[in-house]
Amino acid sequence: MIKDLIIFNLNLSSFPMQNFNLLWRAFLAIGLIGIVTQQLFYQDFRPVIIPHWHGRLYNVQTIAVYALTILIVVLSIGMLIKRTGRIAVVILGFLLLILFMAFHLPYQFKTNLHFLGGWTDSLKLLSLSGGAFVAAAAIPSDYSVPNVTAPWLASGKYFFALTMLVFGIEHFVYVSFVQTLVPT
Domain interval for residue 86? 14-181
Q: Considering its fold, how many domains does the chain have in total?
A: 1
Model pTM score? 0.82
Helix, strand, coil % in the chain, rounded to nearest 5: 75, 0, 25
pLDDT band at 9 (very low <50, low <70, confident <90, very high): very low
Whether residue 9 lies inside any domain: the answer is no
pLDDT > 70? residue 101: yes
Q: What percent of the chain has pLDDT over 70?
A: 81
Q: What is the pLDDT of residues 44-89, one digit of tens each?
A: 899 999 987 655 555 677 888 999 999 999 999 999 988 888 889 9
pLDDT band at 4 (very low <50, low <70, confident <90, very high): very low
88 in Cβ contact with 149 (< 8 Å): no
| pLDDT of the residue at 7 | 44
| Nearest of 73, 67, 69, 93 to residue 29 by alpha carbon | 73
Buried b (16+ CB within 10 A) or exposed e, 35-54: bbeebeeeebbbbbbbbeee
Whether residue 64 lies inside any domain: the answer is yes
Whether residue 3 lies inside any domain: the answer is no
Whether residue 137 lies inside any domain: the answer is yes
Whether residue 7 lies inside any domain: the answer is no
